[in-house]
Amino acid sequence: MALFEVRNVTVRYGGVTALRSATVTAEPRGIHGLIGPNGAGKSTLFNVATGLVAPSSGHVLLDGEDVTRRSPHARARRGLARTFQQLELFGVLTVRDNLLVAAELHTRRHGDRTDPRRAVEAMLDRMNLSQFGPARADHLPTGIARLVEVARALMTRPKVLLLDEPAAGLIEEETQALGRMLRELAAEGLSIILVEHDMELVMPVCSTVTVLDQGEILASGTPEEIRRNNAVVQAYLGVSAEAAQ
Amino acid sequence: MSEFLTYTIVGLVTAAIYAIAASGLVVTYTTSGVFNIAHGAVGMFGAFVFWQLRWGWNWPAPLALVVVIGVLAPLFGCGVEKLLMRNLADASEATKLAVTIGLLIAMEGAALWIWNPQTARPFPPFYVNNKVSFFGTYVTWTQLITLGTFVLCVLVLWFILYRTRIGIDMRAVVDNRSLLMLVGGNPNRASRLSWILGSSLAAVAGILIAPTLQLSVAPLTLLVINAYAAAIIGRLRSLPYTFVGAAIIGLADSYVVGYLPVSTVNWLQNLPLAIPIIILLIALLLQPHERLRGYIVRRSRESFPVPSYRLSLTGAVILIAVCAALAPVLSTQPLYFASIGLALGVVGLSLVPLLGYAGQISLCQMTFAGVGALAFAHATGGGSLLGLLVAFAIAAIVGLLAAVPAIRLRGLYLALATAAIAELFDSWIFGLPSVTWFGHTLPLFESGAVPIARLSIPGINLTSNRTYLVALAVIFSLIGLLVVTIRRSRFGRALLAMRESQAGSETLGMRTTALKLGVFTLSAGIAGVGGVLLAGVYTQVTPTQFSFLASLPLLLLIMAGGAGTVGGATFGALALGVFGYIGTISTFIYQISQLLPGLVGVGLGKQPNGVAADISASLAKLAARLPGHASERLRLASITPPAGVGGQVSAAGLASPGSAASPSPAHGASPVDGASLPVSASSGEASVPSGGITDAGITLEGRA
């Protein structure tokens, strides 16, 4: 059984169907890409996964447990963490305190006696964000702010991490470093679902990729399979794969 | 049957008035985004001006009506929009509320100033003796006129909103302000018209309801609050549902008066007064669950520096020293008002964790203070420190109970729910002498004024007003330090995090509901202690000291001082004391002092951080300029990022200007391991998520 699964989830907002019977799974040590055009339902899927939006039907399973009816914080306590496409940093707090809030929510749960402040410093160091520690979160450039959100999510020591366009606003070099970081985290056992437009990041780091279009799963497979998939190319470019070549 | 018909007619007439008032509120709110707490006050003022013209100066009624409703009220609405509301478009919900609360207080003060409340002002109904027979009962002309006016208002509103160009603009503003501007509409014009309509409708409602209520400032100001319930049932958007809401409230009100055995069951006394408020609370509870979303992280205008213990302790010592030095020399009046200021300041401190840290607006802190004072007066161990603890606990429990309905709500709806709770206590519970339930009698305000023993601390004699002032300063300082400790603690960080992004907090594993209940409980407890201390100054307490209207100036002055800081609460306490004292100098100055909190609140739109933040910022600047004082610059330098990033961050207001341009390479700083992230200057500003047009509901994800 998968570590994390969003199973047959349908979401309707009034007359609009944002997701139609979508299934996405994530395995430990895997980086799973979730791509699709704007409005495809990627963030809605994340919102259902983390409990911010209740699905019209379908289930969310985490570590063998059906958490569909659980609150967002209960899911977080079971090891689910996320970042947001539209940033949800604690603007008036410093970067350090942003991470500290997350650390303090979880150190006691993990039963270890490390000082949360020390854990925060280690994380800032690891993400090379130390120099931003005393800066107010809402004073950061967005690229940095996205990295702070990733760092904050990691402070909860999640089993599953959902990243919503973490590379938006990063330059190429930084994107590559982020990719290396994600691989390293996956190697440590983390399961990652990555929503991203930047194919330079998605294709090399992901073990599997799912394509969403207009709320429906268009295709799922290895990056290479997705690259050759006719329906995907058509959805993205409006032409068939052969024509594109 | 005819009795039922009579109650129904009375109910519908009341409903018509509520509907007129509520429709004005809805039109203003939807178009300008400002919920006008002073809507009732505008109606009150309209009624008074009408009285002045019609009965004071004997103008013919039609002329007086045209002047009030057609000229003065629109001018007033126009002025309010232009001078106060236009700058508020992107202010926080609390600031918007504060400005209209300021308006309410200023209008209340002005009305009391112009029309001496001691003079009786009979306000006879229209065509007092005329009535028509209707299925075995009578309908008075006044009732017919009221119903007719309602129909006329509906027709006018319908015509403006659906048949004129500007009406279309007004409806468009509701959907998307930016889009309206793109297609050439003018949101400001639409907003101005909404304030004009709102003021006129408020004046109509005020004039119609004045004959049944008598011409008196507070009831008129507050009774139109009952119309809020109707507006909430209309979800602050839909006029038809607002009218349905008004009908429910009007009829319920009338039937309760007619049929409920209020005179035989003692705790049902006064209940009819509270009916609209109970309906308001229920309507708020039935509001659809707000989707758990934060908002786009923006550069918030508010600042929340972490207070240092050293600074806080210094402040506390100075406050106590000043009070100790002044206590022996002050004359009776200043001593009295200094004590009141400090006691109210403790209630103000209760707002710092709640409003300042957690961002939860409460308009019922004085209610909790009243509960604390009552508990202290009646509880066993009254007068002792144990009694103080009991008062804290009981106020905290009441706060917890009040928070349960409020907890799902945010921003404006939370403010209205707390206003409703305050009104519920004012009009119902604080009005009861005592409550007997299952054979147990719980004493309340008894004959209206309850004598209270002053707090006594073993070994210290507090019966002298001079010692009491010093004791107040000590207690204020201790609670202030407690609040500072909260800010520096895990709890305080969590509160600020929740305030900044509820979605972010929840998805990190924070139980925001428990956190909100916790902070409400703590805050109510502190307010309860403040109530006990205040009662010690008054020596006896009455319900009016703890009314909804008493909460408002306090809230305003604390916000003016800066709700995010203990210094702000201290400023509020000082201002309350000073305003109170200067009011004793002469009647004229007293009148002005009644206006002051309102004017202060109205000024809040300009400086949301409050005065304390301003002062401390200036002090810091001054200190930095002093020769040899390097700490400020050091602090800045220590957070200056390595070069390359410098320019970027400096633009975001972080680094001191001089340090931005050092020429070392961008990513030279110690790479920790292969996966550590280089961070550069170029990431950024260009891709800030744009608000407004681009996400105007076109995409499904994110904000959809």
Predicted local confidence at residue B638, as pLDDT: 39
Predicted local confidence at residue B698, as pLDDT: 28
Q: Does B288 touch chain A (CB under 8 A)?
A: no
Q: Chain B residue with minimal CA distance to A195?
A: B701
Q: Tell me the C-alpha to C-alpha distance, in Å, between residue B562 and each of B302, B387, B454, B495, B501.
A: 9, 31, 30, 17, 21
- CA end-to-end span of chain B, whole Å? 52
Predicted local confidence at residue B293, as pLDDT: 42
Q: How far is A141 from chain B (nearest CA, A)?
A: 5
Interface test with A, best of B290, B489, B507, B636 (most A CBs within 10 A): B507
Is there a contact between B330 and B472 (Cβ–Cβ < 8 Å)?
no
Which of A52, A77, A81 is closest, CB to CB, to B503? A52
Is there a contact between B555 and B94 (Cβ–Cβ < 8 Å)?
no
Tokens representing B132?
Answer: 């028509």
Q: Chain A residue with minimal CA distance to B509?
A: A73
Q: Tell me the C-alpha to C-alpha distance, in Å, between residue B620 and each of B259, B612, B614, B629.
A: 65, 12, 10, 11
> At residue B202, what is the residue type?
A
pLDDT tens digits for range B460-484: 888 888 999 999 999 999 999 999 9
Predicted local confidence at residue A169, as pLDDT: 83
Average pLDDT over residues B17-36: 90
Q: How far is A245 from chain B (nearest CA, A)?
A: 30
Predicted local confidence at residue B527, as pLDDT: 96
Give me the domains of chain B, ranges plus CATH numbers.
Answer: 2-116+123-285 (1.10.3470), 309-548 (no CATH)
Q: Does A225 touch chain B (CB under 8 A)?
A: no
Q: How far is B611 from chain A (nearest CA, A)?
A: 19
Q: Chain A residue with minimal CA distance to B649?
A: A140
Report A:98-127 residues touching B (Cβ under 8 A).
Answer: 98, 100-102, 104-106, 125-127
Which of A85, A156, A177 is closest, CB to CB, to B508? A156
Q: Does B700 touch chain A (CB under 8 A)?
A: yes
The 3-state DSSP class for residue B143 equals: helix
E strand residue ranges, chain A: 4-13, 16-26, 31-35, 57-62, 65-66, 80-82, 160-164, 191-195, 208-213, 216-221
Q: Does A223 touch chain B (CB under 8 A)?
A: no
Max distance between CA atoms of chain A, in angstroms, equals 60
Q: Chain A residue with minimal CA distance to B697?
A: A39
Q: How far is B627 from chain A (nearest CA, A)?
A: 26
Q: Does B298 touch chain A (CB under 8 A)?
A: yes
> At residue B395, what is the residue type?
A
How many angstroms separate the CA atoms of B683 and B687, rounded?
A: 8
CB B679 to CB A43 under 8 A? no
Q: Chain A residue with minimal CA distance to B647?
A: A141
pLDDT at B382 > cutoff 80 = no
- The number of C-alpha atoms within 13 Å of A237 and in the hemisphere containing its C-beta is 15
pLDDT tens digits for range A172-193: 888 998 999 999 999 999 999 9
Q: Tell me the C-alpha to C-alpha distance, in Å, between residue B45 and each of B109, B202, B207.
A: 11, 9, 9
CB A101 to CB B494 under 8 A? yes
Interface test with B, best of A17, A128, A165, A197 (most B CBs within 10 A): A128
Query: Would you say the C-alpha torsion A88, A90, A95, A100 has a positive or negative sign?
Result: negative
Third-level CATH fold of A4-244: Rossmann fold (3.40.50)
Predicted local confidence at residue B697, as pLDDT: 28
Which of A71, A93, A129 is closest, CB to CB, to B500? A93
Predicted local confidence at residue B609, as pLDDT: 61
Q: Does A172 touch chain B (CB under 8 A)?
A: no
Average pLDDT over residues B304-309: 78
CB A171 to CB B683 under 8 A? yes
The 3-state DSSP class for residue B136 equals: coil
> At residue A33, what is the residue type?
G
Report A:193-212 residues touching B (Cβ under 8 A).
Answer: none
Is there a contact between B579 and B366 (Cβ–Cβ < 8 Å)?
no
Q: What count of other Cβ atoms lies within 10 Å of the Cβ of residue B523?
A: 29
Predicted local confidence at residue B680, as pLDDT: 45
CB B676 to CB A142 under 8 A? no
pLDDT tens digits for range A32-70: 999 988 888 898 999 999 999 899 999 999 998 999 999
Is there a contact between B419 and B364 (Cβ–Cβ < 8 Å)?
yes
Is there a contact between B629 and B623 (Cβ–Cβ < 8 Å)?
yes
How many angstroms separate the CA atoms of B413 and B419, rounded?
A: 10
Predicted local confidence at residue B151, as pLDDT: 95
pLDDT tens digits for range B81-123: 888 887 776 677 778 888 888 888 889 889 988 998 888 888 8
Q: Does B542 touch chain A (CB under 8 A)?
A: no
Give A110's pLDDT tier (boundaries 50, 70, 90). low
Contacts of A84 in chain B (CB under 8 A): 294, 503-504
Give B68's pLDDT tier (boundaries 50, 70, 90). very high
> At residue B62, what is the residue type?
P
Q: Does B504 touch chain A (CB under 8 A)?
A: yes
pLDDT at B584 > cutoff 50 = yes
Predicted local confidence at residue B292, as pLDDT: 44
Report A:148-167 residues touching B (Cβ under 8 A).
Answer: 152-153, 156
pLDDT at B699 > cutoff 50 = no
Interface test with B, best of A10, A92, A140, A201 (most B CBs within 10 A): A92
How many angstroms separate the CA atoms of B550 and B555, rounded?
A: 9
Q: What percent of chain A lies above the pLDDT cut of 90?
A: 54
Residue with the larger pLDDT of the pair B280 and B676: B280
How many angstroms separate the CA atoms of B225 and B675, rounded?
A: 60
Q: Does B183 touch chain A (CB under 8 A)?
A: no
Give B528's pLDDT tier (boundaries 50, 70, 90). very high
Measure the CA dihedral B583/B589/B595/B600, to 10°: -80
Predicted local confidence at residue A162, as pLDDT: 95
How many angstroms separate the CA atoms of B472 and B461, rounded?
A: 13
Predicted local confidence at residue B617, as pLDDT: 65
Q: What percent of chain A lies above the pLDDT cut of 70?
A: 94
Q: Chain A residue with minimal CA distance to B691?
A: A86
Please give the helix or strand (H or E) that residue B650 lies within, else none.
helix B646-651
| Backbone φ and ψ of A23, nearest 5° | -125, 130
Residue with the larger pLDDT of the pair A62 and B132: A62
Helix pair B2-32, B141-163: axis angle to 10 deg: 30
Residue with the larger pLDDT of the pair B173 and A202: A202
Predicted local confidence at residue B675, as pLDDT: 44
Predicted local confidence at residue B608, as pLDDT: 59
pLDDT at A205 > cutoff 50 = yes
How many angstroms separate the CA atoms of B472 and B363, rounded?
A: 24
Q: What percent of chain B lies above the pLDDT cut of 70?
A: 80
Which of A41, A100, A137 is closest, CB to CB, to B701? A41
Predicted local confidence at residue B507, as pLDDT: 93
Average pLDDT over residues B374-399: 86
Which of A13, A134, A147 is closest, CB to CB, to B677? A147
CB A141 to CB B648 under 8 A? yes
DSSP letter, residue A94: B
Give B665's pLDDT tier (boundaries 50, 70, 90). very low
> At residue B283, what is the residue type?
A
The DSSP result for B552-598, as a single string, is HHHHHHHHHH-TTSHHHHHHHHHHHHHHHHHTTT-HHHHHHHHHHHH
Predicted local confidence at residue B668, as pLDDT: 37
pLDDT tens digits for range A149-176: 999 999 999 999 999 999 988 888 889 9
Q: How far is B494 from chain A (nearest CA, A)?
A: 6
CB B500 to CB A92 under 8 A? yes
Q: Does A241 touch chain B (CB under 8 A)?
A: no
Helix pair B465-488, B332-351: axis angle to 10 deg: 20
CB A101 to CB B493 under 8 A? yes
Q: Mean pLDDT for chain B?
A: 79
Q: Mean pLDDT for chain A?
A: 88
Which of B669, B683, B701 is closest, CB to CB, to A169? B683
Nearest to B370 by CA among B233, B250, B544: B544
Contacts of B506 in chain A (CB under 8 A): 51-52, 71-73, 76
CB B677 to CB A73 under 8 A? no
Q: Does B664 touch chain A (CB under 8 A)?
A: no
Average pLDDT over residues B33-46: 91
Average pLDDT over residues A184-209: 91
Q: Does A82 touch chain B (CB under 8 A)?
A: yes
The H helix count followed by the E strand count for chain B is 28, 6
Nearest to B352 by CA among B86, B36, B567: B567
Which of B302, B638, B703 is closest, CB to CB, to A92? B302
pLDDT at B651 > cutoff 70 = no
Is there a contact between A157 and A119 (Cβ–Cβ < 8 Å)?
no
Nearest to B196 by CA among B65, B63, B36: B36
The 3-state DSSP class for residue A5 equals: strand
Q: Does A77 touch chain B (CB under 8 A)?
A: yes
Q: The tokens 């709320």 sit on which residue?
A: A215
Q: Does A180 touch chain B (CB under 8 A)?
A: yes
